[in-house]
Structure 1
Amino acid sequence: MEKAEIGLIGLGVMGSNLALNIAEKGHPVAVFNRTTSRTGEFFEAAGNLREMIVPCTTLQDLAASIRPPRAIIIMVAAGQAVDEQIAALRSVLSDGDIVIDAGNANFRDTIRRFSELKDSGLTFIGMGVSGGEEGARHGPSIMVGGPRDAYARVEKVLTDISAKYEGEPCAAWLGPDGAGHFVKTIHNGIEYADMQMIAEIYGVLRDGLGMQPKEIGAVFDEWNKGRLNSYLIEITGKVLAADDPQTGKPMVDMILDRAGQKGTGKWSAIEAQTLGVSATAIEAAVSARILSSLKDERLAAEKAYAISDLPKFSGDRQAILRDLELALFAGKIAAYAQGFAVMDAASKQFDWRLPMPTIAKIWRAGCIIRSQFLGTLAEAFQQSGTLPNLLMAPAFIDMMKEAHPSLRRILARAAEAGLPMPAMSSALAYFDSYRQGRGTSNLIQAQRDFFGAHGFERIDAKGAFHGPWGDSG
């Protein structure tokens, strides 16, 4: 066999599927796993793709099997394992070779690794990959950060293995150093918000309207045919339709209501605050997962407060369902507006010049938050050029005008019924705060000046001023 076009380290679920994807698209790939038996198992299970795979038992063999300049994808757990793998590779690679971290890395670690490799002769790429196991095998969304010429070396492989939207690859170079991993982080933050809002709507359907899982699944199936068309809505319908093989009961009813998280949502919220950008829906979604982990405390609190006799949703069910659909759509718009605002701030902070229309386009297929909505979003950025916030795009102004009254009605009724909707509530508060020309922070500034002499701006003069608080006591 000719030399491999690219190498891959780490044959876990994501790495194995990515390697098979590369091989299937006609690119010879050399693979290595620290546990060598796993490499053999993977190779034997590859079937007719084995002729495109070079199994390697040492890093030296891996390096020797790839055409120079060598490009090697690392698909191992984020953190120390990546640093250890990079250190091990430095002894077998040459000047100009490219190390690609394709895990869920913190973009600040990616920036650090660029700095550490600066004078080593090696080139580094931080690559966000979204789509889960299925995406890795058949086409993920790929977000690349690093030197443009390094991307050129691997562009053909990455665009070939990526998802396609109407024939257009969902892979792109987005900027230098940590740009790719930052965009993937915000993708995951939006994903957190999207999933939480869907769960909140499910809660209203279940507890407010008394609907059973299969009934609720049918509602999501119907919504998936319209404005909410997306991967997450699609799989929600499928999840709710599934039965538990052991009990015959709805599968969702047999799952403990305690959500896990791996950190990317938290990173999104932290970076938003660090950059001074409001991302309340994302923050609420992260907080909701944390609160969900307190199962024993929640059960005790339910008993202590003796929740009963709260009003259920009543009235025209079709009207309520329409309001729920529009409420979810309004929340989704707010969450995306927040996510893109965070990316815009980071782009300026780190001088990345992130291409917002391109980001929206490569999220249209392959990734977890892929949806019909993203095409409209990409068009909004293309038409408006520099857009301060997605909420100011003409198309989105029209959509929010139609949708936000439904969000208000649903939240009001949910509050009366004692149904928590933290992400949806945060989305509405964000929208109302953003569109309020005169807010209430003038009082906060007066308070800050009173107790800390921090000063304030006046509406009728420039400069810093203090109030007459000494005369008021």
Structure 2
Amino acid sequence: MSGADIGLIGLGTMGSALALNIAESGFDIAVYNRSDDVTHAFVEEAGDLAERVTPAFSLEDLVGKLRSPRAIILMVPAGDIVDDQIERLRPLMNPEDMVIDAGNANFRDTIRRAKAAAAKGESFLGIGVSGGEEGARHGPSIMGGGTPEAWDRVEHILKAIAADHQGTACATYMGPDGAGHFVKAVHNGIEYADMQMIAEIYGVLRDGSGLSYAEIAAHFERWNNGPLQSYLVEISAKVAAAIDDRSGQPLLSVIEDTAGQKGTGRWTAIEAQHLAAPVNVIEAAVSARNISAQKDERAAGEQRFGAAPQHVDIDAETLEHALVAGKILCYAQGFEMLRKASAEFGWSLPLPEIARVWREGCIIRSAMLDDMAIALEDAPETPLHRAPPFADRLESALPALRKAVVAALGNGHPAPALSAALTYFDAIRTSRGTADMIQGQRDFFGWHGFARLDDEGRDHHGPWVTSN
């Protein structure tokens, strides 16, 4: 077979799954991996799809087996490896040939690569792909960034392989250069926060209420049939119900309580600070993962100070509503961060379309996203937590969130993300806060000046500032 529709470099877990998805969607694909053994094994295991797969054993071979103008997807680890692949590929390609970085790239790297490509008249796309191995194989959520012309050239392929929600492909053009990878980063930040809040509720059920893993699984399964219906709640029920083959015990009872991370949530928290976008729920989730890694320190702390009290007098329905409130506030923060980035980088991010793209295929897919898309469309300038119908939902669920946080913290159960959500709500609905004291302090020690309620300008000073 010659003249493949598209090429792909990197046959790891995600790359292999995406390549099979492309082939199954009716496109001929040429694949290359730096290890020939991996390439051979991939083709051998492709089954009936092998007839649409052309193996290549060098970059020159890969480029030569593609139909012009060519498009090559990079599914390699983020960082210098991407730059190295682009540098090796470009001398073999024509300017109109396109490189598509579909890895978990830092959006600032994508901006740099897009500018470098534009300066040379070359085509480049940076696309966020969410959904893990299952999504890559059967339909991910795809967030595109680059020139509209570059997106248009491969849109038919990307939409064909994307997840489908009621007849609509979950693949959308987000904006120039790094827009797609930025949206993916915020997605991952929300993912961190959502997972952490679920884990905190799980902890209260397990340690505070003394429920068995099977009982916890039943609660999550029931919640997944209500307003919390989502992929993460669904799999939480399955994880809690799972039995370990080796020991015969509940699987969660033998899993080490140290959570890994690849850094994408940390990127979101860092960029939020650059944008002055408050995402304290995401920041709390990132911090919680960092604390989880300090296993020895946590053990030493318990030995020195003793374990926290265990019993929490709270019902499961309250915890369910608390999680609803936390979820709304977490997503609201994420979309406000996207709004700020859109203005900062001149992207014109389509917020309603982002909500729609996340409805299927990705890790944070949730029943709430349908209503979020409508809310963002009907009230484009209104933060999600104040937009109908979420303001009413939040108002209804807030007492449960407050009760859950107070009960957890009052009995020594860590609830950093749920606490952050409640703190954010209380701060964002307080018209007269306490930053007047901070401004007075800054003026006292640094003559920074402050604004007054009864005058214009921001260069007023307190009596401690002398004429000198």
Q: TM-score, normalised by structure 1?
A: 0.97
Q: Which residue does 1:468 correspond to in 2?
A: 463
Alignment of 1:137-286 (within 5 A): 137-286=137-286
Between the aligned partners of 1:355 and 1:67, the Cα distance in structure 2 is 32
Partner deviation per Cα, 1:360-405 (whole Å, 9 max, x = no partner):
0000000000000100100001111223x21120211101100111
Separation in 2, partners of 1:92, 1:295: 49
- The match for 1:378 among 373, 378, 382 is 373
Q: Deviations over 1:113-159 (max 9, x none)?
A: 11222233321100100000000000000000001111111011100
Once the 2 structures are TM-superposed, how far is the Cα of residue 469 of structure 1 from its aligned partner?
2.6
1:24–1:49 contact (8 Å) kept in structure 2: yes
Specify the SS of the correspondent of 2:91: coil
C-alpha deviation, 1:438, in angstroms = 0.8
Q: Which residue of 2 aligns with 1:415?
A: 409
* One-letter identity of the residue aligned with 1:419: H
* Distance in structure 2 (CA, Å) of the matches to 1:383 and 1:469: 50
Aligned counterparts of 1:252 and 1:441: Cα–Cα separation in 2: 44
* Alpha-carbon distance in 1 for matches of 2:127, 2:278: 26
Determine helix, strand or coil for the equivalent of 1:173: strand
2:169 and 2:402 map into 1 onto residues whose CA distance is 39
Tell me, yes or no, if the aligned pair for 1:311 and 1:416 is still in contact at 8 Å.
no
Which amino acid in structure 2 is aligned with residue 460 of structure 1? D
- For structure 1, list consecutive stretches of 5 or more residues without a partner in the other structure: none
Aligned runs of 1:99-118 on 2, under 5 Å?
99-118=99-118
Identity %: 55
Alignment correspondent of 1:331: 326
1:429 matches 2:428: no
Does the Cα contact within 8 Å between 1:94 and 1:121 map onto a contact in 2? no
Code of the aligned partner of 1:66: L
Deviation above 4 Å: which 4+ runs of structure 1? Answer: none
1:199 is aligned with what amino acid? A
Give per-residue Cα distances to partners, 1:388-431, cap 9 Å, x unaligned. x2112021110110011100011111112100100000000001
Give yes or no for the alignment of 1:392 onto 2:391: no
SS in 2 for 1:126: strand
CA pair 97-311 structure 1, distance change in 2 beyond 3 A? closer
Note if contact 1:159-1:170 (Cα within 8 Å) is conserved in structure 2.
Answer: yes
Q: Which residue is equivalent to 2:31? A: 31
Aligned partner of residue 457 in structure 1, secondary structure: coil
1:449 aligns with 2:443: yes
Query: Separation in 2 of the partners of 1:313 and 1:305?
Result: 20
CA contact (8 A) 1:223 1:229 kept: yes
Alignment partners' CA distance in 2, 1:90 and 1:119: 14
| 1:341 paired to 2:342 | no
From 359, 362, 366, the equivalent of 2:357 is: 362
SS in 2 for 1:290: helix
- Equivalent residue letter for 1:431: F
Kindly state the Cα deviation for residue 322 of structure 1 after the two structures are TM-superposed: 1.1
Taking the aligned partners of 2:243 and 2:82, their CA distance within structure 1 comes to: 39
Structure 2 length-normalised TM:
0.98
Please tell me the root mean square deviation across aligned C-alpha atoms, in Å: 1.1
In 1, Cα distance between equivalents of 2:376 and 2:68: 39
User: Is there any run of 5+ residues in structure 2 with no aligned partner, and where?
Assistant: none
Q: Indicate the SS of the match to 1:91.
A: helix
Q: Determine the C-alpha separation between the residues in 2 that align with 1:162 and 1:307.
A: 47
Equivalents in 2 of 1:186, 1:311: separation in Å? 34
What one-letter code is carried by the residue in structure 2 that aligns with 1:446? G
Shift of 1:68: 1.3
Aligned equivalents of 2:38 and 2:431: distance in 1?
60
Q: Please state whether the residue corresponding to 2:118 is helix, strand or coil.
A: coil
Instruction: Decide whether the 8 Å contact of 2:197 with 2:418 is kept in 1.
Output: yes
State the distance in 2 between where 1:90 and 1:349 align.
Answer: 31
Q: Distance in 1 between matches of 2:410 and 2:58?
A: 63
- State the Cα deviation string for residues 291-316 of structure 1 (Å, max 9, x = none): 011101100100100235x26123xx
Partners of 1:415 and 1:269 in 2: CA distance: 24
**Corresponding residue pairs, total:** 465
Contact kept in structure 2, 1:457 and 1:465, CA below 8 Å: yes
SS of the aligned residue for 1:118 comes to helix
